[in-house]
């Protein structure tokens, strides 16, 4: 099968959606003539024209609200945030309009819209440009939150998101845009709300998503060499969580660690661990632990940055603690 | 600076009698009925609030009836896209919400226009996209409605977004004005200037009034200002504007000078305004002044007026009774429709 990068996979999903349905359009800063700040939309202006690939001024609140208005009347906008940090400028439009109008209108109007762009820490971009927004948005009812880690899932989930009738946050990560993987030529989607066991194991369940999956893979391989087999779950969808896949795995391994790039306090890992204690209380042989970004704004200096976000060494250390008593 | 010293915009002028002649008696009476319906609806809605049957934030449209009545009738209720603020009962009634659906929504009942989920500030009906509760939150949404018309090549409709003078200092207002001009969107921006941003007078919120006359220049958008207490003028101006927007596919900004008789919301005793000021305002009443025009020039009588007012009042009274009797939503439906399957 052919191999393409995550960047190309996301582009193909947008390209195919634009080709398939006239109501789909993409707008954002630098998406058209500049080909996208991260070149996701490269070539799309040429192919679909300025009516459907739209450069906006730097005005996140304005263009997000505009896209929501368009979605209310039957269009399917894809809103590119150059980075999800800039979605905060549009926070009121997202929270008060996109996530509320369907319910608040008694189901009269729907908001089929995708908010996408890079999320989380990039490289040395410091405190204001490194947020993990998933707990902020996933906290609110009325939306779907996706954070895939592979080219296959990126393409399949983004296509599912564009044709979904709900507001969807599609969280990318700049650090993995160039990672390659197998993607079929044929048309496919990946079902929203399904996690994936990407490595089977019996000794511990390791749960993560997006870029952190690659750190987890490294750690899982390390332990495998020592004869410890860790089951690795890629959540892929953060909201709604695939409780079944998580619970089935933990009931088998009796131990779990959750790795989240964002902060520990009230994060996604807190939600996952809460579900595990709810459904697997009698199955657990050790307290469930988590590895998260430390409780600091993300600093610029390389050693500080590398330490505050989860890294393989920290993940390994926590897993060792949870494995005490095994073998 | 007192209210009187604020620079007033140049107001749109037209002969009200000529406009009424053009509208004809049938349409004139329809609009009179609609204004009366709005007033009775708000009166009974507030009364029900005082009786503990309606809760939350309640923003009355009393005093401003001629504005949206004139605009919706000039543009047409059966098409076009509309969005407004939390002061949204009148627009919903004008666009087809029944008094029963509206009152039941205020009462939080299952039969409400939004199934009792939205309440006073969030009414939606055909062609009406809220009912937006955050000051200024509706401005870019309005741009999106206009964008959608243009994107789909619909040329015989326009989008209209309403907001108060209090939402003009918000960034969303200026972001939206820039975008609609930049992209030539068929949006009519209506600033309903009632002079008070919640409890703060305009001279303490707007740096350089008159709002639209001055700000439209900054964005290169054509603008008008009109006395919103005079129904024929509002109607006439928006007839003209509709044609202009359709011909030019350009946005237009309008400032409508109006007054709200009540506080910002029901909990606001409006102590920032003297009794004398309110009495002066009430002499300009949009319903009373329209009635006088019809009486003096069209053979309309006080008796006919009372009869018509009573008909609208009874519609609202019936809606109140029905809302009172209607069941609350079944709590089992609480989580339905949060996500579309």
DSSP A114-134: EEEEE-S--SS--GGG----H
Of A57, A73, A97, the CB nearest to B137: A97
Q: Which residue in the list A12, A16, A30, A129 is annotated as catalytic? A: A129
> CA nearest A239 in B: which residue?
B339
In a domain, A85, yes or no: yes
In a domain, A42, yes or no: yes
| pLDDT of B3 higher than 80 | no
The answer to whether B117 contacts A92, with C-beta atoms less than 8 Å apart, is no
- DSSP conformation letters of A194-205: --EEEE--SSEE
Confidence of residue B1 (pLDDT cuts 50, 70, 90): very low
Helix, strand counts (H, E) of chain A: 12, 14
pLDDT in tens, B250-308: 999 999 999 888 888 888 888 888 888 888 888 899 999 999 999 999 999 999 999 99
ipTM of the complex: 0.95
Of A56, A69, A144, the CB nearest to B145: A69
Q: In this complex, is the C-beta atom of B133 within 8 Å of any C-beta atom belonging to chain A?
A: yes
Q: In this complex, is the C-beta atom of A166 within 8 Å of any C-beta atom belonging to chain B?
A: yes
pLDDT in tens, B35-79: 999 999 999 999 999 999 999 999 999 999 999 999 999 999 999
**Do both A162 and A44 map to the same domain?**
yes
Overall domain count for chain A: 2
Contacts of A64 in chain B (CB under 8 A): 140
In a domain, A190, yes or no: no
The CATH number linked to A59 is 3.40.50.970
In a domain, A188, yes or no: no
Q: In this complex, is the C-beta atom of B134 within 8 Å of any C-beta atom belonging to chain A?
A: yes
From the CA of B330, how many Å to the nearest CA of chain A? 14
Active site residue A102: no
In the β-sheet with A204-208, what is the strand arrangement from edge to edge? A196-199, A230-234, A204-208, A256-263, A289-293
Q: Which residue in the list A60, A134, A231, A305 is annotated as catalytic? A: A60
- The predicted pLDDT at position A34 comes to 97
| Alpha-carbon separation of residue A116 from A106, A154, A171, A249 (angstroms) | 27, 11, 6, 30
From A140, A156, A182, the end of a domain falls on A182
The answer to whether A62 contacts B179, with C-beta atoms less than 8 Å apart, is yes
Confidence of residue B5 (pLDDT cuts 50, 70, 90): low
**Do both A148 and A238 map to the same domain?**
no
> CA nearest A75 in B: which residue?
B148
From the CA of B128, how many Å to the nearest CA of chain A? 10
Closest CA to A236 of A174, A171, A310: A171
From the CA of B340, how many Å to the nearest CA of chain A? 6
**Do both A164 and A239 map to the same domain?**
no
Q: Is the dihedral of CA A74, A78, A84, A90 positive or negative?
A: negative
Mutate: best of B123, B124, B144, B180, partner A, most A CBs <10 A: B144
The CATH number linked to B186 is 3.40.50.970
The CATH number linked to A307 is 3.40.50.920
- The predicted pLDDT at position B262 comes to 83
**Do both A46 and A166 map to the same domain?**
yes
**Which two structure tokens, joined as six digits, stand for A23?**
């109501």
| Alpha-carbon separation of residue B328 from B29, B55, B109, B122, B150 (angstroms) | 36, 14, 4, 17, 41
From A182, A213, A248, the end of a domain falls on A182
The answer to whether A73 contacts B171, with C-beta atoms less than 8 Å apart, is no
Q: In this complex, is the C-beta atom of B124 within 8 Å of any C-beta atom belonging to chain A?
A: yes
Contacts of A103 in chain B (CB under 8 A): 117, 337-338
- The predicted pLDDT at position B6 comes to 62
Contacts of A68 in chain B (CB under 8 A): 140-141, 144
Active site residue A129: yes
- The predicted pLDDT at position B2 comes to 45
Closest CA to A204 of A187, A220, A225: A220
Task: For residues A179 and A271, give the distance between their C-alpha atoms in angstroms, rounded to a whole number.
Answer: 28
In a domain, B119, yes or no: yes
Residues 265-284 on B with a CB inside 8 Å of A are: none
Mutate: best of A65, A95, A99, partner B, most B CBs <10 A: A65
Q: In this complex, is the C-beta atom of B143 within 8 Å of any C-beta atom belonging to chain A?
A: yes
Q: In this complex, is the C-beta atom of A320 within 8 Å of any C-beta atom belonging to chain B?
A: no
Query: A272 lies in which domain range?
Result: 196-322
In the predicted model, what is the mean pLDDT of chain B? 95
Task: For residues A10 and A25, give the distance between their C-alpha atoms in angstroms, rounded to a whole number.
Answer: 15
- The predicted pLDDT at position B275 comes to 87
For residues B141 and A65, the answer to whether their CB atoms sit within 8 Å is: yes
Q: In this complex, is the C-beta atom of A28 within 8 Å of any C-beta atom belonging to chain B?
A: no
Q: Is the dihedral of CA A97, A101, A102, A104 positive or negative?
A: positive
Confidence of residue B136 (pLDDT cuts 50, 70, 90): very high
**Do both A275 and A229 map to the same domain?**
yes
Three-state secondary structure call for residue B244: helix
The answer to whether A63 contacts B114, with C-beta atoms less than 8 Å apart, is no
- Helical axes B211-219 vs B171-182, angle rounded to 10°: 50
Counting as low any pLDDT under 70, the low residues of chain A are: 327
**Do both A156 and A12 map to the same domain?**
yes
Task: For residues A120 and A131, give the distance between their C-alpha atoms in angstroms, rounded to a whole number.
Answer: 5
From A136, A155, A182, the end of a domain falls on A182
Q: In this complex, is the C-beta atom of A63 within 8 Å of any C-beta atom belonging to chain B?
A: yes
pLDDT in tens, B167-192: 999 999 999 999 999 999 999 999 99
Task: For residues B11 and A314, give the distance between their C-alpha atoms in angstroms, rounded to a whole number.
Answer: 70
Q: In this complex, is the C-beta atom of B142 within 8 Å of any C-beta atom belonging to chain A?
A: yes
**Do both A207 and A162 map to the same domain?**
no
**Which two structure tokens, joined as six digits, stand for B130?**
């809220």
Overall domain count for chain B: 1
The answer to whether A106 contacts B148, with C-beta atoms less than 8 Å apart, is no
Contacts of A107 in chain B (CB under 8 A): 115, 337
The answer to whether A93 contacts B140, with C-beta atoms less than 8 Å apart, is yes
Contacts of A56 in chain B (CB under 8 A): 179
In a domain, A220, yes or no: yes
Above pLDDT 70, what percent of chain B?
98
Q: In this complex, is the C-beta atom of B121 within 8 Å of any C-beta atom belonging to chain A?
A: no
In a domain, B65, yes or no: yes
Residue A286 CA from chain centroid, whole number:
28
In a domain, A82, yes or no: yes
Q: What is the pTM of this model?
A: 0.96
In a domain, B135, yes or no: yes
Query: B185 lies in which domain range?
Result: 17-323
Q: In this complex, is the C-beta atom of A167 within 8 Å of any C-beta atom belonging to chain B?
A: no
**Do both A60 and A146 map to the same domain?**
yes
- The predicted pLDDT at position A254 comes to 98
């Amino acid at each position: 099968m052919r191999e393409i990068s995550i960047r190309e996979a996301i582009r193909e999903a947008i390209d195919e959606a634009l080709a398939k349905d006239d109501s789909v359009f993409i707008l954002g800063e630098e998406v058209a003539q500049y080909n996208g700040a991260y070149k996701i939309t490269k070539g799309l202006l040429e192919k679909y024209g300025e009516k459907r690939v739209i450069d906006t001024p730097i005005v996140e609140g304005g263009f997000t609200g505009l896209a929501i208005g368009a979605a209310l009347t039957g269009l399917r906008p894809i809103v590119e945030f150059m980075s999800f940090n800039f979605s905060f400028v549009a926070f009121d439009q997202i929270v008060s309009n996109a996530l509320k109008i369907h319910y608040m209108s008694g189901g009269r109007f729907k908001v089929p819209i995708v908010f996408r762009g890079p999320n989380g820490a990039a490289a040395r971009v410091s405190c204001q440009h490194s947020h993990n927004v998933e707990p902020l948005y996933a906290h609110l009812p009325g939306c779907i939150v996706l954070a895939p880690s592979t080219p296959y899932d990126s393409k399949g989930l983004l296509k599912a998101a564009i044709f979904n009738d709900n507001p969807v946050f599609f969280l990318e990560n700049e650090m993995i845009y160039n990672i390659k993987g197998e993607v079929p030529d044929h048309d496919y989607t990946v079902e929203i709300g399904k996690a994936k066991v990407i490595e089977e194991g019996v000794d511990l369940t390791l749960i993560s998503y997006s870029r952190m999956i690659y750190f987890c893979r490294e750690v899982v391989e390390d332990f495998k060499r020592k004869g410890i087999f860790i089951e690795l779950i890629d959540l892929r969808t953060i909201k709604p969580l695939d409780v079944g896949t998580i619970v089935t795995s933990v009931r088998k391994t009796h131990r779990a660690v959750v790795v989240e790039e964002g902060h520990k306090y009230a994060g996604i890992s807190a939600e996952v661990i809460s579900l595990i204690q709810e459904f697997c209380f009698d199955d657990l042989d050790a307290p469930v632990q988590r590895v998260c970004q430390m409780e600091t704004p993300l600093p610029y200096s390389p050693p500080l940055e590398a330490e505050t976000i989860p890294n393989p060494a920290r993940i390994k250390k926590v897993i060792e603690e949870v494995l005490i008593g095994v073998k | 600076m007192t209210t009187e010293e604020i620079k007033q915009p140049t107001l749109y002028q037209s002969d009200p009698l000529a406009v009424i002649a053009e509208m004809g008696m049938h349409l004139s009476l329809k609009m009179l009925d609609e204004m009366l319906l709005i007033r009775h609806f708000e009166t009974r809605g507030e009364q029900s609030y005082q009786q503990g049957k309606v809760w939350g934030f309640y923003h009355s449209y009393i005093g401003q009836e001629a504005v949206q009545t004139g605009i919706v009738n000039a543009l047409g209720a059966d098409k076009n896209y509309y969005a407004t603020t939390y002061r949204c009962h009148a627009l919903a009634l004008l666009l087809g919400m029944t008094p029963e659906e509206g009152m039941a929504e205020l009462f939080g009942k299952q039969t409400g226009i939004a199934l009792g989920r939205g309440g006073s500030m969030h009414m939606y009906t055909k062609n009406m996209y809220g009912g937006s509760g955050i000051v200024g939150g509706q401005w870019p949404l309005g741009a999106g409605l206009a964008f959608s018309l243009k994107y789909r090549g619909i040329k015989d409709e326009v989008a209209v977004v309403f907001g108060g003078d209090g939402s003009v200092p918000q960034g969303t207002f200026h972001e939206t004005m820039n975008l609609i001009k930049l992209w030539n969107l068929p949006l009519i921006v209506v600033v309903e200037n009632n002079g008070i941003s919640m409890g703060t007078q305009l001279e303490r919120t707007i740096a350089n009034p008159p709002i639209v006359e001055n700000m439209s220049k900054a964005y290169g958008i054509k603008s008008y200002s009109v006395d919103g207490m005079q129904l024929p003028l509002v109607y006439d101006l928006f007839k003209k504007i509709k044609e202009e927007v359709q011909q030019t596919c350009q946005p237009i900004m309008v400032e409508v000078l109006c007054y709200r008789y009540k506080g910002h919301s029901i909990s606001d005793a409006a102590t920032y305004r003297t009794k004398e000021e309110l009495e002066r305002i009430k002499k300009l009443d949009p319903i009373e002044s329209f009635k006088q025009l019809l009486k003096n020039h069209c053979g309309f009588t006080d008796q006919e007026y009372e009869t018509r007012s009573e008909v609208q009042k009874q519609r609202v009274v019936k809606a109140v009774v029905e809302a009172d009797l209607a069941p609350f939503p079944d709590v089992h439906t609480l989580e339905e429709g949060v996500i579309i399957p």
